């Protein structure tokens, strides 16, 4: 499934770029994220808890940067595997940043998500909707953090 | 002789009671002491190189007995047409769901957990999912070095991602286009359909101490399973015993090995019985299903409605492995002209590899896809010529003495009578047209499969009869029909006959239960075996009765002299005499290779199958109503007429037709295995929508009997055509109701609604 | 599954005591029509299963002066066939006829359906339209909450880990009040692609709409009210024109997502059509 969206964020392009690669920020923005760390090879590793009613999954996630043109374009691939073997997912992301003005940045985002295993077998209908919602929350949190950042300055 | 008493009379199923009472033994019912349970690890990628497989962690799990990966299993490739399928994927995975490793453990749950603990390193490869794209120049090759594969069937055309291609041509299409007044072109596409049997694939295997393999499986073709196992296991066939359990639905999905080889290999490795039973999602992502297909049709006609010429191109998406794909493409090619006289034609039908699971046989293979396209196309032509769809078809129908596209002289063509009959029961000419309601018509001509059947009839010491055959009754009622045939031949009540099916150790060879071949072909074999037995009985009785054998007849379980009925001996006496004093145990046996007219090979290229020994015919009228606001289609009435050649058991005939129509109805309206790239998104029966009982419309069935010269009593199979009809009949009825022609299945409310909206927008 | 304990509770007190002790490690099993498949797939792995199917105190349908009280363990089939329901709240019997199959209705319970909180559930929009209230009981007491506030997210409700849903309390329809439930599903008794529960109360003298609730299921994480559409109707005489306008408003205010059941665009079409159909049927008073 393809998730596409676009949002205007407070802050200059460079700052948004840094936030997007900042493990602490990512941890705060990804819904259910418990930890994020950067490995020596540049990969991001983390765990994300997803709960949908009685279904609980904890994904070990690895994010690999495939292509990067700081601070405007980032292509990454995320792979997650549930610790309880209920399923796994692969997500290919393409992200672009564009300056609207020195204080505002437009973020455009396309990702192709593929969930497999029991978790997908059983609740495709729900997981599609849930993934969309998680993505929405991610962008909302990011937007919030950036707003907050500006107030501090 | 009291002939015709048994043939054609409704007869309760010989397996009815044990099924209704729950003591029939199906695949999942098999249990053995010390039995292990197996699970496989499926590839999570549709196309990936397998770099490394690490089973260490999985092996440590308590209860795990053994784990096999590609390196641990015989390095052979199997396949019924193209030998392209490894036992376990080793160098690369070609579809998501392909087995890479198998685990045997003391419990199913443990085996499942262990399979998940196997660590595999993959290198993803560029996949291809669309058969059209797979033909393109830059498309990734799914099988590198496919040329080197051996082929089980001769004459396959293979190149690139094409694993089979059938070309048929006749007349002079170029001249045909010149002669045509009008030319119509359409593109149709059909979805993947899951068989949806209630009983999952379930297999149990064990080796005895002598190294002999015994395997219990829910299958339609015990000898095909034995043959494949022999090849994979490296065993002579006499060291393998395949026992077919009761089958809870086959529909073509249980004709090949699915997990039999996994169980056999694990049983050999562990020395214990091993059982594997698939889940619904495994069935829907690993085992076969009906091919999705894209069909282009172009037809030239005269103004008066005579068909002049047709060009057809069919693309069957066969998935990661060939399976029966090349044969399905051939059946599609043979069916695409329908039962219509077409002077000029050019047909090209391909079976193409993609990164999906292997599609193969499903009830009416090739014909269901081609039937939807051909009959929708026919309906469009009739409408645009302002001809009644019935009249247009009648004008073009073939009849006895015509030559088929593939060069056979057609005989016992039953379509004309069937069409008249369906027009009558549906009151077609007086059909009432009201708002948002419409009527659709559809015909079909399909083929049945011949090949080899053999039968053994044993006369027991007490004079009772026992029929021993290899042909599984997978629910369609063949054992009942065969008991009736034997009863008819031996003039004995059918319920006194015992039928034993499905054990390769005891039954003589049979090709399998598919392609409408059991009544037709095994029926002939049973008649032959009965006659062979009678010859033996008459010769024995001739000596006892001191009458010439040619004077004897078998009536009411007595053999008597036709001219001197006083001279008679009962079967019991004869059997006793035979067993103890003269000749030994009487056994009738037969083996029949159905005779057929060979293809005219100057017209046919690449068809891997022998030509059919007989065609099958049916037609259908459907009345629908359409909700214009939601696109919801309601099938109000179905009138269906089928030519049975000769009905053996009207109860079974009607049951099989009804079941087939429901399967066709599901295909028309709801059923589709949905893919997101290479991943099946609805591998469960919540999201994959088969019809419920409440969705069954009123179905009226008529049966015509145009005797097939080479069938038993004139009979031919009736199992496949019912599935070929509903999709086109309903699509045509929707067009009649609301004026939109939908060329893509299934006819979901969404598809109907948006077609209506597009149509409205176009009109503006 | 190997680490799961099972208790069959005999009373509500036993249930709440267990919940108090085990909290969110426990899961309540009622009719099993939603939970058992999840257990079977090992997607749900509770430490304790509390089987409440034998708790007699949760099985009842009672009429009080102004309401019908229904025990949470009442099965769908009981709801469909009960004479009190048919007389006073025929909308519920109608809704049940469209919910799954008789086999499932015979086992599945009203409370189980609500607590499972499948956004495509049929019960919730019908009960929302009726303004039903839920009684939740814990070891420390009881509280009441409207159905409308009960649903929080996909399969998530406001119920606390120590609470059990005990009773559904439904106001009887006032004179001139009408309620209906209609749905669209591909095979007639399938998971809803859209379900609309509607309640309309008209003024006796002016025939204007005094009260209206349009509750839509299967179009988001929780069943929702089409409030802009309601606003079009409220205080007005219901006519073809207002109905058409309400349909348009509903279409604008609801954003369904695409899934296997249908694309977002198709669901938008259905929202408009079904809001109109619901309003037409409810305002014509075909059904009480």
Chain segment B618-647, per-residue pLDDT in tens: 999 999 999 999 999 999 999 999 999 999
Q: Which CATH architecture has domain B16-23+451-593?
A: 2-Layer Sandwich (3.30)
Quote the minimal CA–CA distance from B249 to chain C in Å. Answer: 22
Residue of B nearest to C98 (CA): B694
Provide the pLDDT confidence category of residue B387 given band limits of 50, 70 and 90: very high
Q: Is C38 on the interface with B (CB under 8 A)?
A: no
**Between β-strands B307-319 and B344-353, what pairing exists: parallel, antiparallel or unpaired?**
parallel
CA–CA distance, C86 with B475 (Å, rounded to integer)? 43
In the DSSP assignment, the letter for residue B510 is: B
C97/B contact by beta carbon, under 8 A: no
Give tens-digit pLDDT for B531-555.
999 999 999 999 899 999 999 999 9
Q: Which residues contact C64 (CB under 8 A, 6 or more apart)?
A: none
- pLDDT score of B1 more than 50: no
B225, B243, B259 from B505: Cα distances, Å:
13, 8, 21
- Domain residue spans in chain B? 16-23+451-593, 31-125+198-249+254-285, 360-448+610-763
Question: Cβ of C260 under 8 Å from any chain B Cβ?
Answer: yes
Q: Which among C187, C191, C262 has CB closest to B670?
A: C187
Residues from chain C contacting residue B681 (CB–CB below 8 Å): 260
The residues spanned by each domain of chain C are 5-51, 56-171, 177-283
Q: Is the pLDDT of residue B184 over 60?
A: yes
Residue A55 pLDDT: 83
Q: Chains contacting B with at least 3 CB pairs below 8 Å? A: A, C
B44/A88 Cβ within 8 A: yes
**Comparison of pLDDT for B604 and B5, the residue scoring more:** B604
Asked if B681 and A120 come within 8 Å (Cβ–Cβ), the reply is yes
Write down the H helix ranges in B494-649. 523-545, 571-580
Encode burial over B672-708: b for 16+ CB neighbours within 10 A, e otherwise: bbebbbbbbbbbbebbbbbbbeebebebebbbbbbbb
CA distance B127 to B137: 14
Q: What is the pLDDT of residue A150?
A: 56
- The rounded distance, in Å, linking the Cα atoms of C254 and C69 is 32
Task: Write out pLDDT tens, residues B570-605.
Answer: 999 999 988 888 888 999 999 999 999 999 999 999
Contact yes or no for C259 and A128 at CB 8 A? yes
Per the model's pLDDT, the better-predicted residue between B686 and B395 turns out to be B395
Mutation target vs B (from C269, C271, C275, C279; most B CBs, 10 A cutoff): C269
User: For C5-51, CATH number?
Assistant: 3.30.43.10
> Please, which pLDDT band fits residue C154 given cuts at 50, 70 and 90?
confident
Distance CA B313, CA B61 (A): 53
Beta strand pairing call for B465-469 and B452-459: antiparallel
What is the pLDDT at residue C256?
A: 92
Q: Do A55 and C120 touch (CB under 8 A)?
A: no
Angle at A52 between CA A48 and CA A55, to 5 degrees: 90
Q: Please indicate whether, in this complex, the C-beta atoms of A129 and C120 are within 8 angstroms of each other.
A: no
Cα distances (Å, whole numbers) of residue B54 to B112, B269, B352: 16, 19, 33
Partner residue opposite A122 with nearest CB, options C43, C257, C258 = C43
Inter-chain contact A122–C116, Cβ cutoff 8 Å? no
Position C285 scores a pLDDT of 64
Looking at beta carbons, which residues of chain B come within 8 Å of C256? Answer: none
Report residue B462's pLDDT band, with 50, 70 and 90 as the boundaries.
Answer: very high
Distance from CA of B739 to the nearest CA of C (A): 20
C-alpha dihedral sign at B621, B372, B364, B171: positive
* Range of weakest confidence among B49-53, B347-351, B693-697: B693-697
CA separation for the pair B126, B140 (Å, rounded): 7
* B195 has pLDDT over 70: yes
- Tell me what the mean pLDDT of segment A2-8 comes to: 87
Positive or negative torsion for Cα C264, C269, C271, C272: positive
d(CA A109, CA A94): 6
Mean per-residue pLDDT, C182-201: 94
Residue C214, C-beta contacts closer than 8 angstroms, at least 6 positions apart = C129, C196, C197, C198, C225, C226, C229, C230, C246, C250, C275, C278, C279
Give how far A111 is from chain B: nearest CA, Å. Answer: 14
A24 touches chain C (CB under 8 A): no
Q: What is the C-alpha end-to-end distance of chain A, expressed in Å?
A: 39
Chain length of chain B: 764
Residue B22 backbone class (left: φ over 0; alpha: ψ -120 to 50; beta: rest): left
CATH for C177-283 (1.10.10.60, 3.30.390.50, 3.40.1410.10, 3.40.50.2300) = 3.30.390.50
Please check whether residue B166 is in contact with residue B349, taking contact to mean a CB–CB distance below 8 angstroms. Answer: yes
pLDDT above 80 (res B139): yes
In this prediction, residue B459 carries a pLDDT of 95
Domains (ranges, CATH) in chain A?
A: 2-152 (3.30.530.20)
Going by pLDDT thresholds of 50, 70 and 90, the confidence category of residue A134 is confident
**In the structure, what pLDDT confidence band is assigned to residue C288 with cuts at 50, 70 and 90?**
very low
Mean pLDDT, residues C232-250 taken together: 96
Residue A2, pLDDT score: 81
pLDDT of residue B580: 85
Q: Which among C186, C263, C270 has CB closest to B689?
A: C186
Segment A42-56 shows an average pLDDT of: 88
Q: Which residues of C touch B748 (CB under 8 A)?
A: 186
Cβ–Cβ gap C42/A122 under 8 Å: no
How far from B703 is each of B420, B653, B654, C35, C232, CA to CA, in Å? 12, 9, 8, 47, 58
Side-chain-side CA neighbours of B705 within 13 Å: the count stands at 13
Query: Mean pLDDT over residues B283-298, rounded?
Result: 97
CA trace torsion B279, B282, B287, B293 (10° rounding):
120
Tens-digit pLDDT profile for residues A94-131: 999 999 999 999 999 898 888 877 777 766 777 777 88
Please tell me the distance from the alpha carbon of residue B409 to that of residue B521, in angstroms, as a whole number.
20
Secondary structure of C3-71 as H, E, C letters: CCEEEECCCHHHHHHHHHHHHHHEEEECCCCCHHHHHHCCCCCCCEEEECCCCHHHCCEEECCCEEEEE
* pLDDT score of C282 more than 90: yes
Tokens of A90: 């692969």
B684 to chain A, closest Cα gap in Å:
7
Given an 8 Å threshold on Cβ–Cβ distance, is B676 in contact with A1?
yes
On whether any CB of chain B is under 8 Å from the CB of C195, the answer is no
Residue of chain C whose alpha carbon sits nearest to that of A126: C154
Instruction: Answer yes or no: do C45 and A133 touch at CB < 8 A.
Output: no
Per-residue pLDDT at B674 exceeds 60: yes
| pLDDT tens digits along B724-735 | 999 999 999 999
pLDDT band at A41 (very low <50, low <70, confident <90, very high): confident
Number of C-beta neighbours around residue C102 at 10 A: 12
Cβ–Cβ under 8 Å, residues B580 and B586: no
Q: Do B687 and A125 touch (CB under 8 A)?
A: yes
Asked whether residue C118 carries a pLDDT value surpassing 60, the answer given is: yes
- C264 to chain B: closest CA residue: B750
Between helix C264-283 and helix B749-763 the angle, nearest 10°, is 90
Percent of chain C scored above 70 by pLDDT? 98
pLDDT tens per residue across span B405-450: 999 999 999 999 999 999 999 999 999 989 999 999 999 999 999 9
pLDDT for B467 equals 98
pLDDT of residue A153: 47
As for the ipTM of the complex, it is 0.94
Element (H, E) at C78: helix C76-81
User: Given B682, B691, B753, which is nearest C266 (Cβ)?
Assistant: B753
Q: How far apart are CA C75 and CA A17, in angstroms?
A: 55
Output the pLDDT for position B495. 87
Q: What value, to the nearest 5°, has the Cα angle with vertex B514 and ends B512 and B517? A: 85
Within an 8 Å CB–CB cutoff, is residue C105 touching chain A? no
> pLDDT tens-digit profile of B205-228?
999 999 999 999 999 999 999 999
Architecture of the domain delimited by B31-125+198-249+254-285: Alpha-Beta Complex (3.90)
CA–CA distance, B457 with B466 (Å, rounded to integer): 6
Residue B670 CA, chain-centre distance (Å), reads: 20
What is the pLDDT of chain A when averaged over all its residues?
A: 87
Interatomic CA distance for residues A124 and C120, integer angstroms? 13
B400-403 long-range contacts, CB within 8 A, separation 24+: B402/B341
- Residues of chain C positioned with their CB less than 8 A from the CB of B686: 191
Mean pLDDT in residue range C148-155: 93
- Mean of pLDDT values over B375-393: 98
Highest CATH level, class, for C56-171: alpha beta
Q: How far apart, in whole angstroms, are the C-alpha atoms of residue B180 and residue B741?
A: 23
Among A56, A125, A132, select the one facing C260 at the smallest CB separation: A125
Average pLDDT for C157-168 = 97
How many inter-chain contacts (B to C, CB under 8 Å) are there? 41
Pairing of strands A104-116, C26-29: unpaired
Q: CATH topology of B16-23+451-593 equal to that of B360-448+610-763?
A: yes
B691 vs B719: CA distance, rounded Å: 19
pLDDT at C2: 61
- Across chain B, mean pLDDT equals 96
Q: Coil, helix or strand for B518?
A: helix
Measured at the alpha carbon of residue B189, what is the angle toward residues B184 and B192, in degrees to the nearest 5?
A: 160
* Tens digit of each residue's pLDDT (9 = 90 or more) over B717-760: 999 999 999 999 999 999 999 999 999 999 999 999 999 999 99
Q: What is the DSSP letter of B201?
A: P
- The class of domain B360-448+610-763 in CATH terms is alpha beta
């Amino acid at each position: 499934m393809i998730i596409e969206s676009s949002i205007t964020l407070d802050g200059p392009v460079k700052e948004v770029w840094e936030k997007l690669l900042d493990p602490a920020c990512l941890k705060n923005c990804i819904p259910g994220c418990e930890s994020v760390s950067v490995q020596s090879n540049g990969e991001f590793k983390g765990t994300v808890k997803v709960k949908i009613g009685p279904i609980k999954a904890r994904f070990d996630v690895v994010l690999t940067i495939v292509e990067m043109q700081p601070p405007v374009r980032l292509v990454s691939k995320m792979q997650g595997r549930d610790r309880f073997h209920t399923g796994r997912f692969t997500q290919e992301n393409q992200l672009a940043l564009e300056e609207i003005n020195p204080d505002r940045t437009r973020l455009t985002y396309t990702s192709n998500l593929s969930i497999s295993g029991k978790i997908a077998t059983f609740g495709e209908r729900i997981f599609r909707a849930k993934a969309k919602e998680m993505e929405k929350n991610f962008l909302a949190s990011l937007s919030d953090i950036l707003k907050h950042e500006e107030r501090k300055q | 002789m009291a002939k015709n008493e048994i043939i054609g009379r409704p007869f309760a199923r010989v397996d009815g009671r044990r099924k209704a009472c729950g003591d029939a033994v199906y695949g999942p019912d098999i249990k053995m002491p010390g039995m292990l349970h197996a699970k496989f690890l499926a590839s999570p990628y549709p196309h990936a190189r397998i770099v490394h497989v690490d089973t260490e962690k999985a092996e440590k799990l308590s209860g795990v007995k053994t784990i096999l990966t590609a390196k641990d299993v015989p390095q052979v490739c199997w396949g019924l047409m193209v030998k392209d399928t490894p036992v376990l994927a080793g160098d690369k995975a070609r579809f998501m769901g392909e087995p890479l490793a198998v685990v045997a453990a003391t419990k199913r749950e443990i085996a499942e957990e262990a399979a998940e603990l196997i660590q595999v390193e993959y290198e993803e490869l560029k996949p291809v999912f669309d058969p059209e794209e797979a033909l393109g120049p830059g498309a990734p090759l799914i099988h590198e070095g496919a040329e080197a594969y051996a082929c089980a069937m001769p004459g396959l055309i293979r190149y690139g991602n094409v694993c089979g291609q059938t070309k048929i041509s006749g007349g002079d299409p170029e001249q045909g286009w010149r002669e045509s007044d009008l030319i119509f072109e359409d593109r149709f596409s059909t979805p993947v359909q899951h068989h949806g049997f209630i009983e999952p694939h379930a297999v149990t295997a064990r080796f005895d101490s002598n190294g002999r393999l015994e395997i219990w499986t829910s299958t339609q073709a015990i000898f095909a399973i034995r043959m494949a196992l022999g090849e994979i296991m490296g065993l002579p066939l006499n060291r393998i015993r395949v026992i077919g359990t009761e089958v809870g639905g086959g529909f073509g999905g249980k004709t090949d090995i699915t997990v039999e080889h996994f169980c056999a290999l694990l049983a050999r490795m562990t020395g214990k019985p091993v059982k594997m039973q698939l889940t619904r999602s495994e069935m829907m992502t690993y085992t076969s299903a009906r091919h999705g297909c894209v069909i282009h049709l172009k037809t030239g006609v005269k103004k008066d409605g005579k068909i002049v010429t047709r060009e057809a191109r069919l693309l069957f998406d066969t998935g990661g492995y060939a399976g029966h794909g090349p044969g399905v493409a051939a059946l599609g090619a043979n069916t695409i002209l329908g039962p219509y006289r077409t002077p000029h034609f050019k047909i090209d039908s391909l079976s193409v590899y993609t990164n999906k699971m292997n599609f193969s046989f499903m009830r009416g293979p090739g014909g269901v896809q081609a039937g939807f396209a051909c009959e929708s196309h026919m309906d469009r032509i009739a409408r645009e010529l302002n001809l009644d769809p019935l009249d247009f078809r009648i004008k073009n129908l073939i009849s006895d003495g015509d030559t088929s596209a593939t060069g056979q002289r057609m005989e016992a063509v039953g379509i004309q009578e069937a069409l008249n009959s369906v027009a009558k029961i549906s009151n077609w000419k007086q059909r009432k047209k009201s708002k948002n309601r419409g009527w659709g018509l559809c015909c079909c001509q399909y083929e049945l499969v011949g090949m080899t059947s053999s039968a053994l009839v044993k006369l027991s010491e007490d004079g009772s009869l026992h029929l021993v055959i290899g042909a599984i009754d997978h629910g369609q009622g063949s054992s009942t029909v065969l008991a009736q045939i034997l009863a008819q031949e031996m003039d004995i009540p059918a319920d006194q006959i015992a039928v034993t099916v499905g054990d390769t150790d005891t039954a003589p060879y049979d090709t399998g239960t598919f392609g409408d071949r059991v009544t037709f072909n095994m029926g002939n074999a049973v008649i032959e075996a009965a006659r062979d037995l009678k010859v033996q009985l008459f010769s024995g009785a001739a000596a006892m009765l001191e009458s010439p054998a040619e004077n004897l007849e078998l009536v009411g379980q007595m053999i008597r002299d036709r001219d001197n009925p006083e001279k008679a001996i009962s079967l019991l006496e004869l059997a006793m005499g035979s067993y103890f004093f003269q000749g030994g145990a009487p056994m009738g046996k037969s083996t029949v290779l159905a005779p057929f007219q060979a293809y005219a090979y100057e017209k046919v290229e690449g068809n891997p199958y022998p030509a059919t020994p007989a065609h099958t015919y049916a037609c259908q009228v459907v009345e629908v109503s359409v909700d214009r606001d939601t696109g919801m289609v309601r099938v109000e009435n179905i009138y269906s007429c089928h030519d049975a050649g000769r009905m053996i058991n009207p109860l079974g005939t009607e049951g099989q037709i009804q079941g087939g129509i429901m399967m066709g109805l599901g295909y028309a309206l709801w059923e589709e295995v949905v893919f997101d790239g290479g991943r099946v998104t609805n591998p469960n029966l919540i999201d994959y929508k088969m019809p419920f009982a409440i969705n069954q419309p009123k179905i009226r069935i008529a049966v015509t009997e145009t005797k097939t010269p080479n069938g038993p009593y004139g009979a031919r199979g009736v199992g496949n055509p019912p599935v070929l009809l509903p999709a086109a009949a309903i699509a045509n009825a929707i067009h009649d109701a609301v004026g939109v022609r939908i060329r893509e299945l299934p006819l979901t409310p969404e598809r109907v609604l948006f077609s209506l909206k597009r149509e409205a927008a176009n009109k503006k | 599954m190997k680490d799961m304990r099972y208790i069959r509770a005999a009373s509500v007190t036993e249930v709440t005591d267990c919940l108090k002790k085990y909290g969110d490690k426990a899961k309540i099993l009622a009719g099993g029509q939603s939970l058992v498949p999840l257990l079977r797939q090992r997607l749900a792995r509770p430490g304790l299963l509390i089987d409440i199917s034998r708790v007699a105190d949760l099985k009842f349908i009672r009429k009080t002066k102004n309401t019908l009280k229904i025990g949470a363990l009442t099965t769908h089939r009981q709801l469909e066939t009960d004479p009190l329901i048919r007389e006073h709240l025929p909308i519920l019997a109608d809704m049940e006829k469209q919910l799954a199959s008789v086999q499932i209705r015979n086992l599945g319970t009203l409370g189980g359906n609500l607590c499972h909180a499948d956004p495509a559930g049929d019960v919730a929009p019908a009960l929302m339209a009726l303004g039903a209230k839920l009684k939740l009981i814990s070891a420390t007491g009881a509280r009441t909450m409207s159905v409308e506030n009960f649903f929080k997210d996909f399969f998530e409700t406001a119920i606390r880990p120590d609470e059990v849903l005990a009773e559904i309390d439904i106001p009887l329809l006032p004179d001139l009040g009408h309620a209906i439930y209609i749905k669209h599903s591909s095979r007639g008794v399938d998971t809803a692609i859209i379900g609309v529960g509607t309640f309309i109360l008209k003024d006796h003298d002016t025939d204007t709409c005094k009260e209206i609730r349009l509750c839509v299921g299967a179009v988001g994480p929780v069943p929702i009210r089409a409030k802009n559409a309601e606003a079009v109707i409220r205080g007005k005489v219901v006519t073809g024109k207002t109905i058409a306008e309400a349909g348009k408003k509903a279409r604008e205010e609801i954003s369904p997502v695409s899934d296997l059941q249908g694309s977002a665009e198709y669901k938008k079409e259905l929202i408009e059509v079904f809001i109109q159909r619901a309003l037409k049927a409810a305002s014509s008073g075909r059904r009480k």
